[in-house]
Chains A and B, each alone.
Chain A
Amino acid sequence: AAGVIQSPRHLIKEKRETATLKCYPIPRHDTVYWYQQGPGQDPQFLISFYEKMQSDKGSIPDRFSAQQFSDYHSELNMSSLELGDSALYFCASSPRAGDGSPLHFGNGTRLTVT
């Protein structure tokens, strides 16, 4: 069965650089979620999209932005990177937002900021 695809798997950037993470949801899933997991932490919700509109927002820094495109894939853009942005970033998808459908997680993008 198709799963959530994230790219790249690993990314190394320097401070103040910009990074773009991509997420391709499971076909026919129209809701995408982004999570950030710091070392030794649990995943923290950043933002979600339903039918290409933002549906919920967590503690996402102003330096980060995200969008969902017409083909339902999503991108998380991170600017002015800081050392504290080093984390595992997960994307998840579900058929619909808020109805309790299970979320399916990708394998994550490990971002290292040096």
Chain B
Amino acid sequence: GIQVEQSPPDLILQEGANSTLRCNFSDSVNNLQWFHQNPWGQLINLFYIPSGTKQNGRLSATTVATERYSLLYISSSQTTDSGVYFCAAMGSGSNDYKLSFGAGTTVTVRA
């Protein structure tokens, strides 16, 4: 199946700072999603972005499908942005019918 790698594994930010999280994937995709897992364990869907650029408030994401990577941008970070960010992809091959997750980036925003 498709391999998903995220970097960096950990990120410590001062409140108000900007950051970029990266997701590389090993094959062409027909689905790519970014999630934020909060301290209660809920997986909050941030973006469905198999290609292109999207923005939602202080968050934005870009997927360059031809180069097999996606970026998640956090601007003016707040302490509530803390948590684990997961990238997950579904390959466009005929036998791939599931999302495969990366190992996640743990973000800590300090006041």
A residues contacting B by CB (< 8 A) are 33, 37, 42-45, 48, 50, 55-56, 58, 88, 90, 92, 97-105, 107-108, 110
A90 and B43 in contact (CB under 8 A), knowing A42-B101, A50-B97, A101-B31?
yes
Q: B20 interface residue, CB < 8 Å from A?
A: no
Q: How far is the CB of B55 from chain A (nearest CB, A)?
A: 17
Counting residue pairs across A and B whose Cβ atoms lie within 8 Å, the total is 57
Quick check: A33 and B30 within 8 Å, CB to CB? no
Can you spell out 15 A-B residue pairs with CB atoms less than 8 angstroms apart?
A42-B104, A43-B43, A43-B88, A43-B101, A48-B97, A50-B97, A58-B98, A88-B41, A90-B43, A92-B99, A98-B94, A100-B92, A102-B33, A102-B45, A110-B41
Chain A contacts for B56, CB-based, 8 A: none
B98-A33 in contact (CB<8A): yes
- Quick one: given A43-B43, A43-B86, A108-B43, are A103 and B99 in contact (CB under 8 Å)? yes
B33 pairs with A45, CB closer than 8 A? no
Which residues from chain B contact A45 at a C-beta distance below 8 Å? 98-100
Within the complex, which residue of A33, A42, A58, A92 is in contact with B102, where a contact is CB–CB below 8 Å? A42
A98 contacts B97, C-beta separation under 8 Å? yes
